[in-house]
Amino acid sequence: MADGLAIRGLRLEVARTGDDIVDEVDLTVAPGEVLGLVGESGSGKTTVGLAVLGHARRGVRIAGGSISIGSTDVLGLGAEERRSIRGRLVSYVPQDPSSSLNPALRIGLQLREVLEAHDFGGSDEARRARVAEMMAEVLLPGDDEFLARYPHQLSGGQQQRVALAMAFACRPSVIVLDEPTTGLDVSTQEHVLATVRSLARAHSVAALYITHDLAVVAARPDRLAVMYAGRVVEQGTMREIFTGAAHPYTRHLVAAAPDIAGGRQIVGLPGRAPQPGARPTGCSFALRCELAEDRCRGAFPEPVAISGSHAARCVRVREVPSSTLAQPARAAARGRGDVVLEVAGLDAGYQGRTVVHGVDLVLRRGECLALVGESGSGKTTVSRSIGGLLREWTGTVTFRGEALGRTSRDRSVAQRLGIQYVFQNPYGSLNPRRTVRDSIARPLQIAGASEDEADASVLDVLSKVALPASYANKFPDQLSGGERQRVAVARALVSKPDVLICDEITSALDVLVQAAIVDLLADLRRDLGLAMLFVTHNLPLVRSIADEVAVMSAGRIVEAGPAMEVIDRPREDYTRRLIAATPSIERALA
Amino acid sequence: MSGSGTAIERRPGIIRLAMRLRRTQIGVGLAGFLVLVALLGPFVAPYGSTEFVEMPNTRNAPGTVFGTDYFGQDVLSRFLFGGRSILLLAASATAIGLVLGASLGLLAAYNRGRLDEWIMRVLDVILSFPQVLLSLLVISMFGPSRVLIALTVGFSTTPRIARVIRGAAVPVVERDFVAAAEAIGEPRRRILFSEVLPNVTSSLLVEANLRLTYSVGLIAALAFLGFTPSPNAANWGLMIQENRNALTVQPWGVLLPTLALALLTIGTGLIGDGLSRVSAGIDRSGDRG
Amino acid sequence: MRRPPVRAAHPRSDSETGMPPILTFILRRLVLGLLTLLAVSILVFVVTQALPSDPAKAILGREATPEALAALRTEFGLDRPLLVQYLSWLGDIVRGDLGTSFSTQLEVADYIAPRVGYSFFLLVVGALASIPISLIIGSYQALKRDGRFDTGASLSTLILAALPEFVVGTILTILFATTVVQWLPAVSYFEEGAPPWSDPLGLVLPVLTLVISITPYVARVMRAAMVEVLESDYVEMARLKGMDERTVLWRHAAPNAVGPTFQVIALNLAFLAGGVIVVERLFNFPGIGSALADAVVGRDLPVVQFLALVIAGVYVLTNLLADVGTVLATPRLRTRLG
């Protein structure tokens, strides 16, 4: 009997209330195959992954269904038996190795103990040899010095490879990988993905690859399963899903995923998936679906087979692939606007260390300049200097013809209001003790506006970011991540700035919401003639949002120019390597 | 949760939430009762606090409920008079410590770098003294006046509060909404008091409660060691020391003040625990992913 | 919510001094401790000698005769400039010349020496008893959290932690020595020069008071630290690797809970240093705590000054040990010292 993974009718509940977190999940992964499990945050994919190991987090109860690995019925095992299959028959690669590796233990010990716990190899020498073998498989040094290190002495990529080695150590039949490349640089992501692929193939391991990022998934898995609000809504091969998605949600997901090779505009979908306990009877996507009809709200649609490998849970599967999604209005090509912000010879740093060298940038009205780079490239340092949030910088920044002071306190009120900054973390950029209205109105109050004027401006700007007026009285903890970012953008807009600096503002948001925010920014640029500096590490996003792009590495601008040109015809080696390493759906399908 | 309508479903404040827990209610009951006894006691005491009633150390002296103390005074009356001083001094000392400590802690957290270091170093020196010791030193040299006791205990409380507030404020200061306020040019003082401070109130409340509990014990201990504002006036801590030698024959002179102090501190301790349970929940849910 | 991109962790390089970073750290910390002690001595001096407008009168009281005052001033050199007074005082102490106690007319050193032994013994026994108990209680609570032991222990530690130590001591006295039962002596009694363990029954109540003062705090912090560790990602990962519970607990969880616990143990040892004053006075225990209590009441300046330095010094020392211990126990801090 093949030792693949078979999940049937899995149901997981909130222990206290019985609300479903995940339900009716059917998945199969054959040995040597990689199944990509795609879903946004809250879809339940991590919970499914942990259940494969017979594990449920506090407050979660495994309520029904079966999970088989070969002939082993995981959910029917007792506690001690479950412990014995973990790491041996099925293993787990965590999302964040920096917190999943024990900071107090050397990595050699953490690697060895998996083997010891399952008595792999039978002797100490055999185990030592196996550790050396494992390290070689993941392309890490296997010498004693390296094995004596503590996790914090390794880079993020190295930590994740150690986690991979631990997972493959006892030659399991099934591996669950939970977003294993989040937070890693693009090139490191490539390596990790390639390693997973080759190891899975070589040892006939069934791999369940959990992710939210479609592009990452595009390059590797054989098949995909898409989850929404706790259910698998569509399954199929990569090609079937990308070219002929049969569920409206999947269509939106594919349409919202930025692609570096793609020539299309991304389309977003505001709103969010219903949380456990708040899920309607009937299809949980019906609230946001433009194809929804009465049939959809009665009971959750059963899976409809479209081909041998392709099935989707929608009553209108036949019509979905050919239906058109509402396309955002795109501006016709404009003439070049005036220069509104100019940066010359910017050097910046922290506590005496210079991390940014000689940066030159030009921002024009109505234009979006993307500042791209991996973590540590200095892009946030540049944007903070321009925004007046950093003290240690030299060079000139000219705004509307005037040279700017270093920090916002050295600048005039008009200058401060003219350049607005939107932060990355939607959960930290709004004061939790202030209502939306108070947070947005603050810049106006400082500039001396009356309460009535402030109220009017708040309502005006809320409508610009497509939030209902009633939101003015809400507190941040009542809003979703996407909604909070809209409020942050509204706060920036209220002072009618000329320049908007967006610092990775979509990095913490799900794909659909990200695309919706990108739509919003494009509209604002067009309607208000804003100049935008968009800082991001997400290269594919650049294509969808930017007119111009500047690529940074190690504190310097490596290449700059019109976005399409730089991406399609990069001139510098660094840019070329960066683009080549970025996973692309369209490239994979070509 | 993107509902329409303007009804504000605001989460209740920390105090209201804490009051829902049984332990907080019991704490408020205990502490409240003792505070009433301490404040209103003098008005209902059968005798004056220094009035000679009967033979000293007589348990069943006629005309008294609990007998007489080492000096022949009525135990119950002295008990009823004896809490006010401790309570008022502890409250003032805590208030002083709160105002100073919170300000210094906020300042240090916000400014990081030089100012932070200097503030913390100076406070560290004060922290190197057990509070008892510092108070004893000062009070023994300059006399146990009310003002001095409150000030000394308040000053020795300051660094402890400052440390906690600083610890709570640092993660708040690093959050982006503070940077956003700076970017639009908010004056520093406003940022401290209207952006940062409201977000550390839960830590503030918990710590204030803790310090109040400790101050009560400290001031009573100082009295026990002989340092009270007026040597003859009734004082729970002093009573314990005065009547110790007669414990075997007349326990009430020690038992009443001991029980009062115990119940008072247990009461405030329960309140503090309720507050900290609730604030842990608030802080965690504020960052829901 | 997805986490924003993380910065890669880089291995640290050695410090520039060439010594292993851990030694430079210890050295630096020692120097800091000495500086703090210096600041402490200044504070003690300022409060006892510099600030009072007339230290002589403060010491001898209002009824002192002018001749006695003058004699005191000359003997103490109170007419010299403050800085000179301070330096000479400090110099004397460092050389071991601690002065003469007013009340007992003994050399301070002779007066204090035996009492140091008594206090030290009391503290050691108290610490040895309380620390393991509190660590075990706290860990067990964390392991069985939200169960009956946990709730019961939480409530008990809460109540005990709230009580001031002299209240605890008095309650114990009432319970075991005077009123409820009379099994133990209410005060300790030691013959001149007898070792601290010569009155074991007389030790019980003071030690018990100290134990009840420390244990609740340490147990609570241990519980919190252990819970955080037990709910951490790396403990979950250890379980997902198939480690058995015992290994998870002892190899994975415990080492990570040690660091924060050091801080608390030190905090409480230091806390004892202050509490000892009251507890010794309560039980008439002949240690430096009661000596200080007497000296303060009797305005015995040399004794007050010296003992204040000693007790504060113990405080500084335990904090230093705690800092160093925490760093040594946490590999992440240990290797990042460069």
Kindly indicate the confidence band of residue A90, based on its pLDDT and cuts at 50, 70 and 90. very high
Kindly indicate the confidence band of residue B28, based on its pLDDT and cuts at 50, 70 and 90. very high
Asked if A231 is an interface residue toward chain B (Cβ–Cβ < 8 A), one would say no
Residue type, C56: A
Tell me the CA end-to-end span of chain A in Å, nearest whole number.
35
From the CA of B113, how many Å to the nearest CA of chain A? 10
Residue of C4, C237, C330 lying closest to A94 (CB–CB): C237
If one compares A299 and B223, the residue with the highest pLDDT of the two is B223
Residue with tokens 């293993």: A91
If one compares C263 and C249, the residue with the highest pLDDT of the two is C249
Residue of B5, B176, B289 lying closest to A423 (CB–CB): B176
Average pLDDT over chain C, rounded to an integer:
81
If one compares A372 and A330, the residue with the highest pLDDT of the two is A372
From the CA of B96, how many Å to the nearest CA of chain C? 20
Tokens of B122: 């100076």
Phi-psi region of A387 (alpha: psi -120 to 50; beta: other; left: phi over 0): alpha
Asked if B224 is an interface residue toward chain C (Cβ–Cβ < 8 A), one would say yes
pLDDT at res. C45: 85
How far is CA C249 from each of CA A113, C235, C238, rounded to the nearest angstrom? 14, 8, 10
Residue B196 has what DSSP assignment? I
How far is CA A170 from each of CA A31, A78, A88, A165, A206, rounded to the nearest angstrom? 16, 21, 5, 9, 14
Average pLDDT over residues B114-137: 85
Kindly indicate the confidence band of residue A328, based on its pLDDT and cuts at 50, 70 and 90. low
Q: What is the pLDDT of residues B245-255, one digit of tens each?
A: 888 888 888 99
* Interface residue of B120, B137, B164, B254 to substitute, partner C, most C CBs within 10 Å: B137
Chain A environment of B285 (Cβ under 8 Å): 477
Q: DSSP assignment of A403-463, as one string?
A: EPPSSGGGS-HHHHHHEEEE-S-TTTSS-TTS-HHHHHHHHHHHTT--HHHHHHHHHHHHH
What is the predicted ipTM? 0.84
pLDDT at res. B10: 54
Kindly indicate the confidence band of residue B91, based on its pLDDT and cuts at 50, 70 and 90. very high
If one compares C9 and A590, the residue with the highest pLDDT of the two is A590
Average pLDDT over chain B, rounded to an integer:
85
Chain A environment of C3 (Cβ under 8 Å): 96, 182-183, 508
From the CA of C315, how many Å to the nearest CA of chain A? 29
Q: Are C277 and B247 in contact (CB < 8 Å)?
A: no
Q: What is the pLDDT of residues A393-411, one digit of tens each?
A: 999 999 988 899 888 888 8
Q: What is the pLDDT of residues A536-552, one digit of tens each?
A: 988 888 888 888 999 99
d(CA A251, CA A255): 6
Chain C environment of A512 (Cβ under 8 Å): none
Question: Is residue C107 packed enough to be buried (19+ CB in 10 Å), middle (13-18) or exposed (0-12)?
Answer: middle
Q: Where are the domains of chain B?
A: 32-82+234-282, 84-231
Kindly indicate the confidence band of residue B8, based on its pLDDT and cuts at 50, 70 and 90. very low
Average pLDDT over chain A, rounded to an integer:
87
The residues, ordered by sequence, that sit 6+ positions from C22 with a Cβ below 8 Å of its Cβ are C327, C328, C334, C337
Q: What is the pLDDT of residues C183-211, one digit of tens each?
A: 888 787 777 777 777 778 888 889 999 89
Kindly indicate the confidence band of residue C323, based on its pLDDT and cuts at 50, 70 and 90. confident
Q: Which chain B residue is nearest to residue C275, measuring alpha carbons?
A: B132
From the CA of A274, how many Å to the nearest CA of chain B? 9
Alpha helix locations (H) across chain C?
Answer: 21-45, 55-60, 66-76, 82-95, 108-143, 148-162, 165-173, 200-230, 233-240, 245-247, 254-283, 288-298, 301-329, 331-334
Domains located in chain A, CATH noted = 5-99+172-322 (3.40.50.300), 339-431+497-589 (3.40.50.300)
Tokens of B160: 């402890």
Residue of B132, B218, B251 lying closest to C179 (CB–CB): B251
pLDDT at res. C320: 84
Kindly indicate the confidence band of residue A1, based on its pLDDT and cuts at 50, 70 and 90. very low
Residues 13-72 of C with CB under 8 A from B: 36-37, 39-40, 43-44, 47-48, 51-52, 58
Helix (H) or strand (E) holding A576: helix A573-581
- Residue C78 scores a pLDDT above 60: yes
Kindly indicate the confidence band of residue B5, based on its pLDDT and cuts at 50, 70 and 90. very low
CATH classification code of B84-231: 1.10.3720.10
If one compares C223 and A215, the residue with the highest pLDDT of the two is C223
Q: What is the pLDDT of residues C275-312, one digit of tens each?
A: 788 899 899 888 888 888 888 887 788 888 888 888 88
Residue of B126, B140, B240 lying closest to C296 (CB–CB): B140
Inter-residue contact C158 to C246 (CB < 8 Å): no
pLDDT at res. B26: 93
Q: Which of A532, A486, A259, A237 is nearest to A370 (CA)?
A: A532
- Residue B1 scores a pLDDT above 80: no
If one compares B278 and A361, the residue with the highest pLDDT of the two is A361
Helix (H) or strand (E) holding A80: helix A79-85
Kindly indicate the confidence band of residue C338, based on its pLDDT and cuts at 50, 70 and 90. very low
Q: Are A86 and C238 in contact (CB < 8 Å)?
A: no
Residue with tokens 């259910």: A231
Chain C environment of B216 (Cβ under 8 Å): 164
Tokens of C298: 């009797």
pLDDT at res. B238: 92
Residue with tokens 């510099």: C50
Chain B environment of C102 (Cβ under 8 Å): none
From the CA of C18, how many Å to the nearest CA of chain A? 20
Average pLDDT over residues C46-75: 74
Report phi then psi at C166, rounded to 5: -75, -20
Q: What is the pLDDT of residues A31-80, one digit of tens each?
A: 988 899 998 888 889 999 999 999 998 889 999 999 999 888 999 898 89
Q: Are B2 and A416 in contact (CB < 8 Å)?
A: no
Residue of B140, B258, B265 lying closest to C299 (CB–CB): B140
Q: Are A375 and C6 in contact (CB < 8 Å)?
A: yes
pLDDT at res. A10: 93
Asked if C183 is an interface residue toward chain A (Cβ–Cβ < 8 A), one would say no
Kindly indicate the confidence band of residue B286, based on its pLDDT and cuts at 50, 70 and 90. very low
pLDDT at res. C3: 36
pLDDT at res. C5: 37
d(CA C301, CA A163): 65
Chain A environment of B11 (Cβ under 8 Å): 475, 477
Least confident piece of the model among A288-297, A302-311, C95-104: C95-104
Kindly indicate the confidence band of residue B2, based on its pLDDT and cuts at 50, 70 and 90. very low
Tokens of B86: 């401790």
Residues 370-409 of A with CB under 8 A from C: 375-376
Question: Is residue A282 packed enough to be buried (19+ CB in 10 Å), middle (13-18) or exposed (0-12)?
Answer: middle
pLDDT at res. B220: 93
In percent, how much of chain B has pLDDT > 70? 93
Q: What is the pLDDT of residues C43-58, one digit of tens each?
A: 888 888 776 667 677 6
How many beta-carbon contacts under 8 Å exist across B and C?
A: 136
CA atoms within 13 A on the CB side of A41: 15
Q: What is the pLDDT of residues B218-245, one digit of tens each?
A: 999 999 988 888 888 889 999 999 898 8
Residue of C4, C239, C241 lying closest to A507 (CB–CB): C4
Chain B environment of A424 (Cβ under 8 Å): 176
Least confident piece of the model among A464-478, B130-144, C266-280, C304-318: C266-280
Highest mean pLDDT among A182-191, A358-367, C71-80: A358-367
